[in-house]
A = this chain, B = another copy of it.
Amino acid sequence: MSPHPAANHNSSSQHTHSITVFDYNETQLTKTTPTDLRAYGATKKKANTVTWIDIDSSRASTLIEDIGKIFELHPLILDDLHQGQQRPKAEDYDDCIYLVLTMIRYDRTRQTMVPEKISLILFPHLLLSYQEGRAGDVLDPIRTRLENNQHRLRRLGSDYLMYSIIDAVTDHYFVALESFGEKIEGLEESLVKNPDPATLNALRRLKREIIYLRKSAWPMREVIGFLERADSRLIKASTAVYLRDAYNHAVQIIDTIETYRDMISGMLDIYLSSSSNRLNEVMKVLTIISTIFIPLTFIVGLYGMNFRYMPELAWPLGYPLVLAIMLVITLGMIYFFRKKRWF
């Protein structure tokens, strides 16, 4: 049944990866940084300590093949490790549980959400975590906590360690959502006051980001829900309580995302309305000016005609009379517009 019977152990020679192995229980902790993993195949069976093999590597690396051979992983897991950004998922392979998580980091310089993939493989007393580049930073607080022998992380098993990583990842969503919320807040201000194309562009970018956030948050919830309900011997009942809590966090993340989504799509409507308001205002000014002056201009044109026989031109009071008539017309217009509440 094992799909890789003859494993050759020599390929993990190029050191483009970094491996850290934590081996701990309530009383002791050893931390090593081996260059390859040949020696760790046996940790799958060891039960007195929990082993965390924390791998930071490029997914092009041949290390993945080695891991597959050493820990006898299903070929589909190896295929997945080789892939780039994926939909979060959880799969139960009898002897292990395989997880793909998507971490969202808000990159302040590029002003955008960056998704990063973290893969976890859970055995009874062993956890493998595999990530690329900066994604591993999210695990720093867990590394620190492990050093503290008072922390419950040290007393509980590999499933609790897995929970801690999930929890760290969901926490990063909250951080990302917070900066997202600030951007919405900022945009709402300028929406009614100053609806220009830059606002529209910002809105479009926000909409796009929230679509991406949503795309990774929903399956995260499924994944955690799957783990909580999974009737697997790999996850203890006491850990399931913590997973329920993580599940609630995931639901809260989705709630917030949906709220933001509603707000953004509302904002586009508001934008259109503001825009149409502005057009109305502009049009009203044009209409008022035009409507007042067009008749007046006609009148002055009338008496600019060069007909030889125009009796009014010779009247001594012709000019003041025309001025008076134009004043009356102007006042009449203004009264009409006031009545129409156009200004």
Contacts and interface: CB of A to CB of B under 8 A. Distances in A.
Interface of A: 1, 3, 74-76, 79, 86-87, 89, 91, 93, 152, 188, 192, 194, 196-197, 200-201, 204, 207-208, 211-212, 215, 219, 238, 241-242, 244-245, 248, 251-252, 255, 259, 262-263, 266, 268-280, 282-287, 289-291, 293-298, 300-310, 312-319, 322, 341-342
Nearest to A275: B276
B274 A87 contact: no
Say whether chain A's binding surface is mostly helix, strand, loop, or mixed.
helix
B314 A310 contact: no
B197 A277 contact: yes
7 contacts: A3-B152, A87-B248, A87-B251, A215-B259, A294-B294, A307-B313, A308-B318
B76 A211 contact: no
Contacts of A274: 197, 200
A322 B305 contact: yes
Contacts of A86: 252
A304 B313 CA distance: 12
A333 to B, nearest CB: 9
A278 B282 CA distance: 13
Among A252, A259, A266, residue most surrounded by chain B Cβ atoms (within 10 Å): A266
Contact of A309 (B1, B259, B318): B318
A294 B289 contact: yes
Given A244-B91, A252-B86, A275-B280, A294 B290 contact: yes
Nearest to A75: B152
Contact of A241 (B76, B268, B316): B76
Contact of A201 (B192, B201, B272, B276): B192
Copy number of this protein in the oligomer?
A: 5
A272 B271 contact: no
B319 A310 contact: yes
Given A282-B283, A291-B285, A307 B318 contact: yes
A303 to B, nearest CB: 4
A279 B282 contact: no
Contact of A319 (B241, B268, B285, B307): B307
A238 to B, nearest CB: 8
Given A304-B305, A314-B308, A194 B341 contact: yes
Nearest to A311: B319
A63 B266 CA distance: 42
Contacts of A268: 266, 269, 273
Given A280-B275, A306-B304, A207 B266 contact: yes
A270 B265 CA distance: 11
A82 B267 CA distance: 34
A279 B280 contact: yes
Contact of A277 (B152, B275, B307): B275
Given A87-B252, A259-B211, A290 B301 contact: no
